[in-house]
């Protein structure tokens, strides 16, 4: 596979590289890092030819957007595709918030769920300011788990208006809930979705219905959670993360079985994880996040690695991936 091949993202017309850069690490996921380290991560992505950057106000309470914008300043706006999110407003905190797994060090802000029309418009303007840009290409409705009605009635209406005005190119939802994405796909006109932790080597919840529905409706998929929050990259070791928490024993056992098979073919689990997701024709691109410049390079090279067809056949034979899940080299690819 070519990680820098550009594909059209759904109905948006946007051309994005098959590997993008996710922004949660830029905001301090699992602990903050220096601004300069974040800048180097973004510069590395640009130097490699990655053109898709996905961030959110939530990530570091605005840090991810600000830091990303500091590097993108001076880069021709047509050279990259920029995605961010709405649905969580940043408001001043009464006192510094404690350290947590998403926001890094103490923050002067707290987040408030608000998918109202006015809140979405305010969030969009605030993101433009933090990013230092005059437009955002993709705007995701972010994690509307308990707010579907407001999200489809108000947030979606706001995004449609922004798209009609040319302020954004793509209307999207970013969430890991397959059932809700199916409802959004059936009830709205979406250009793309950001699907998180619902299609990878460990989770194929989106395979039976959502991905075919998106293909039918021309909705492009940006896939997050390629490494299932880390375990498919780090392996089944002590402290491995799965869906942002310590991996349960059942998941550890399954990953160990995959690792044993991969070792027999000289395959790295991270390469298999990346290529498995990209093999599905509904998936336009993956957006792995990292805090390390070297990992940006690695994430690109993982997609280029040669993986024997026998490896995928053995995973299928041993029930570790569904028979119907596309893999690299399948005819439909």
Query: Is there a catalytic annotation at residue 30?
Result: no
pLDDT tens profile 6-18:
999 999 999 999 9
Q: What would the pLDDT profile of 164-187 be if each residue is shown by its tens digit?
A: 999 999 999 999 999 999 999 999
User: How sure is the predictor about 100, in pLDDT bands with cuts at 50, 70 and 90?
Assistant: very low
**CA nearest 236: which of 98, 227, 323?**
227
Strand-strand pairing, 21-22 and 52-54:
parallel
Q: What is the pLDDT of residue 105?
A: 52
DSSP 281-330: TTEEEE--B-S-HHHHHHHHHHHHS---HHHHHHHHHTTSS-TTS--TT-
Any catalytic annotation for residue 85?
yes
Of 85, 143, 148, 156, catalytic? 85
Q: Specify whether 105 is catalytic.
A: no
Q: What is the pLDDT of residue 111?
A: 86
**Looking at residue 325, what is its pLDDT?**
97
List the structure tokens of 245: 């928490």
Among 32, 54, 114, 143, the active-site one is: 54
Angle between helical axes of 178-187 and 210-217 (0-180°, round to 10): 20
Q: Which domains does the chain have, with CATH numbers?
A: 15-227+283-290 (3.20.20.100)
CA atoms within 13 A on the CB side of 20: 28
pLDDT (tens digit, 9 = 90+) per residue, 240-274?
Answer: 889 888 999 999 999 999 999 999 999 999 999 99
Q: Which two structure tokens, joined as six digits, stand for 176?
A: 């890991």
Say how many CA atoms lie within 13 Å of 279 toward its Cβ: 22
Number of neighbours of residue 128 by Cβ within 10 angstroms: 17
Which of 32, 59, 199, 243 is catalytic? The answer is: 59
SS3 116: coil
Task: Please give the average per-residue pLDDT across 195-211, as a whole number.
Answer: 96
Burial of 175: CB neighbours in 10 Å, binned 0-12, 13-18, 19+ = buried
> Percentage of residues in the chain with pLDDT exceeding 70?
95
Banded pLDDT at 96 (limits 50, 70, 90): low
**Region for residue 52 given its phi and psi (left: phi exceeds 0; alpha: psi -120 to 50; beta: otherwise):** beta
| Gap between the Cα atoms of 260 and 320, Å rounded | 12
User: What's the pLDDT at 238?
Assistant: 84
CA distance 321 to 17: 26
Burial class (CB in 10 A: 0-12, 13-18, 19+), 34: exposed
pLDDT of residue 28: 84
Closest CA to 219 of 178, 286, 172, 274: 172
325 — alpha (psi -120 to 50), left (phi > 0) or beta? beta
Identify the CA nearest to 219 among candidates 143, 277, 282: 282
For 62-79, what is each residue's pLDDT tens digit? Answer: 999 999 999 999 899 999
Contact call for residues 224 and 199 (beta carbons, < 8 A): no
pTM: 0.94
15: helix, strand or coil = strand
Indicate the average pLDDT of the chain: 93
Q: What pLDDT is stored for residue 154 in this prediction?
A: 98
Q: What is the DSSP string of 190-251?
A: -SEEEEESSSSSS--TTTTTHHHHHHHHT-EEEEE-TTGGGHHHH-S-TT-EETTEEPPHHH
- The pLDDT of 119-132, averaged and rounded, is 98
For residue 263, the model assigns a pLDDT of 97
Give the integer Cα–Cα distance in Å for 235 and 329. 25
pLDDT at 239: 85
């Amino acid at each position: 596979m070519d990680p820098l091949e550009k594909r059209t993202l759904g109905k948006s017309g946007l051309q994005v590289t098959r590997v993008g850069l996710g922004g949660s690490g830029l905001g301090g996921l699992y602990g903050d890092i220096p601004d300069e380290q974040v800048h180097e991560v973004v510069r590395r992505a640009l130097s490699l030819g990655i053109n898709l950057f996905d961030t959110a106000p939530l990530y570091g309470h605005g840090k991810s957007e600000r830091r990303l914008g500091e590097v993108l300043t001076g880069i021709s706006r047509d050279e990259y595709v920029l995605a961010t999110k709405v649905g969580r407003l940043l408001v001043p905190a009464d006192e510094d918030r404690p350290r947590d797994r998403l926001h890094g060090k103490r923050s002067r802000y707290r987040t408030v769920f608000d998918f109202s029309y006015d809140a979405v418009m305010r969030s969009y303007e605030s993101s433009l300011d933090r990013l230092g840009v005059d437009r955002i290409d993709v705007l995701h409705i972010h994690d509307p788990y308990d707010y579907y009605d407001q999200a489809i009635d108000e947030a979606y209406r706001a995004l449609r208006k922004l798209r009609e005005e040319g302020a954004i190119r793509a209307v999207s939802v970013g969430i890991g809930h397959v059932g809700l994405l199916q409802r959004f796909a059936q009830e709205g006109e979406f250009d793309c979705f950001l699907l998180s932790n619902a299609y990878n080597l460990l989770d194929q919840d989106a395979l039976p219905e959502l991905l075919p529905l998106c293909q039918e409706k021309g909705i492009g998929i940006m896939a997050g959670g390629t490494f299932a929050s880390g375990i498919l990259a780090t392996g089944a070791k002590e402290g491995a993360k799965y869906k942002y928490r310590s991996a349960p024993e059942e998941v550890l056992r399954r990953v160990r079985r995959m690792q044993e098979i991969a070792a027999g073919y000289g395959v790295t689990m991270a390469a298999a994880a990346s290529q498995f997701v990209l093999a599905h024709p509904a998936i336009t691109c993956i957006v792995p996040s990292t805090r390390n410049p070297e990992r940006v390079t690695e994430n690109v090279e993982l997609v280029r690695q040669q993986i024997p067809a026998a490896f995928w056949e053995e995973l299928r034979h041993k029930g570790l991936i569904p028979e119907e899940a596309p893999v690299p080299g399948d005819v439909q690819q």
